């Protein structure tokens, strides 16, 4: 949150640079002494994990691009060459592919955490919107990256997803076809399509990095939300980011990397589809096209709606609705922990997302289709009906008087209590 700068340059160079480009001051104020609520739990470590994953994906991606051949004839073979011939190529490619999955694991948890603790509510609406924008950019980037392998699943995923735009033909005849041929650079998915997807796959991570900086900026104006949703009231409610949360985030990254490494070294293909090891064939559609696991809930929504255009609108709307969540939630308090009715709907929503993920991988008929439709209805009802209505009729539980009180109990309200270790050591730590 906004706080007076406490940076004191000591060295001669420190003073010189501070009057020219005060970068050390920004680092000190925003990442060292930054006042952070003292009660953040481990769900708050995923922002750091995500930053780490973005850097890791960019590093592995840049080196993979040194060996990849972006052409319809060469792409598949160059990926196999990376796997077999390039020094450490197997490690770099698997780290990039499994890394994409782990990136989405983290971003989904991060998003659900924001939903649960009401982190989108005033004054953090812009922070939330930038986050949804990052999610959209990640989806686009991951989709394009998957296409670059140019296996059967890559090719047909691109075909199916780009054909979604042809649904616009039912609004204005010809518009969809014109748009799709513009995206393809031909009359079907082919070499020109692959080249432009490669170009954009290289570009978008840098766009994401830019929006991440805005996201962190928008976080540092109001400061972190916290598990109680109660605002920071005094300095005693906060501790400096470093070393308290730098250590906590670092420890969480280590735990996250253990899971990452287990997937990477023991089952690197567990989350991918074997058909993508068959070179792309424009004359044969695989018997069962499924997207990567992180797109399955959205794919289930697409297939649940029995109209091409409305299916597309539903799938895009599933993410677009997140943009207006700050204005859909009418509750006066943030944290779901203090909302006895909404809590049940929230966890049903989490189950809905997981169920849609399962249904997205099944053939859309019979009971699968029935439940796909039922969960799709709940997905949208949660945002458009439950959020506004429950917020109005619910009587929330009593909130703690302050963040400190929620941590230390009633003793925190006694004036002579010993000072907590955090805030008073701040000067020494800085």
Q: Which residues bind other proteins (CB under 8 A)?
A: 156, 159-160, 162-164, 166, 170, 181-190, 192, 196, 282-289, 303, 306-308, 311, 364-365
Q: Are 229 and 22 in contact (CB under 8 A)?
A: no
Question: Whole-number minimum distance, CB 111 to other proteins, in Å?
Answer: 27
Which residue, 12 or 174, is less far from other proteins as judged by CB? 174
Question: Whole-number minimum distance, CB 152 to other proteins, in Å?
Answer: 12
* Measured distance CA(61)–CA(56) in Å, rounded: 8
Question: Whole-number minimum distance, CB 122 to other proteins, in Å?
Answer: 38
Which residue, 170 or 234, is less far from other proteins as judged by CB? 170
Residue spans of alpha helices (H) in 69-190 = 75-84, 89-116, 125-147, 152-163, 175-184
* Measured distance CA(217)–CA(220) in Å, rounded: 5
Q: How far from each other are the two terminal CA atoms of the chain, in whole angstroms? A: 17
Q: Which residues contact 259 (CB under 8 A, 6 or more apart)?
A: 102
Where is 323: in which H helix or E strand? helix 308-323
Q: Give strand pairing partners of 279.
A: 151
Q: Are 252 and 45 in contact (CB under 8 A)?
A: yes
Which residue, 166 or 402, is less far from other proteins as judged by CB? 166
Which residue, 77 or 365, is less far from other proteins as judged by CB? 365
Instruction: Quickly count: other Cβ atoms within 10 Å of residue 98's Cβ.
Output: 22
Where is 36: in which H helix or E strand? strand 35-37
């Amino acid at each position: 949150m906004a706080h007076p700068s406490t940076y004191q340059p000591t060295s001669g160079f420190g003073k010189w640079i501070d009057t020219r480009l005060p970068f050390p001051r920004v680092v000190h104020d925003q990442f060292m002494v930054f006042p952070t609520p003292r009660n953040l739990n481990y769900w708050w470590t995923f922002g750091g994990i995500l930053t780490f994953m973005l850097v890791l994906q960019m590093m592995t991606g840049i080196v993979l691009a040194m060996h990849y051949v972006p052409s319809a004839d060469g792409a598949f073979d160059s990926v196999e060459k990376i796997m077999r011939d390039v020094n450490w190529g197997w490690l770099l490619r698997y780290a990039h592919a499994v890394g994409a999955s782990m990136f989405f694991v983290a971003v989904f948890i991060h998003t659900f955490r924001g939903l649960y603790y009401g982190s989108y509510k005033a004054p953090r609406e812009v922070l939330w919107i930038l986050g949804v924008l990052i999610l959209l950019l990640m989806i686009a980037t991951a989709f394009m990256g998957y296409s670059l392998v140019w296996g059967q699943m890559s090719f047909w995923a691109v075909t199916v997803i780009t054909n979604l735009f042809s649904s616009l033909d039912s609004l204005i005849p010809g518009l969809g076809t014109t748009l799709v041929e513009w995206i393809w650079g031909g009359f079907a998915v082919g070499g020109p399509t692959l080249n432009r997807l490669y170009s954009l796959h290289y570009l978008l991570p840098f766009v994401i990095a830019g929006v991440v900086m805005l996201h962190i900026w928008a976080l540092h104006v109001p400061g972190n939300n916290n598990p109680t949703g109660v605002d920071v009231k005094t300095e005693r409610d906060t501790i400096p980011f470093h070393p308290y949360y730098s250590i906590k985030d670092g420890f969480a990254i280590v735990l996250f990397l253990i899971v990452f490494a287990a997937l990477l070294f023991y089952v690197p293909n567990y989350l991918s589809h074997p058909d993508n090891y068959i070179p792309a064939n424009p004359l044969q559609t695989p018997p069962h096209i499924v997207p990567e696991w992180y797109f399955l809930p959205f794919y289930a929504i697409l297939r649940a709606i029995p109209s091409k255009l409305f299916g597309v609108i539903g799938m895009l709307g599933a993410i677009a609705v997140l943009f207006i969540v700050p204005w859909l939630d009418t509750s006066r308090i943030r944290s779901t922990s203090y909302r006895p009715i909404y809590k049940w709907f929230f966890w049903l929503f989490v189950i809905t997302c997981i169920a849609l993920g399962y249904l997205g991988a099944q053939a859309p008929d019979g009971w699968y289709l029935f439940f796909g439709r039922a969960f799709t209805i709940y997905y949208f009802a949660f945002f458009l009906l439950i959020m506004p209505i429950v917020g109005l009729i619910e009587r929330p539980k009593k909130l703690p008087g302050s963040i400190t009180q929620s941590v230390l109990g009633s003793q925190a309200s006694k004036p002579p209590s010993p000072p907590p270790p955090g805030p008073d050591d701040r000067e020494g730590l800085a």
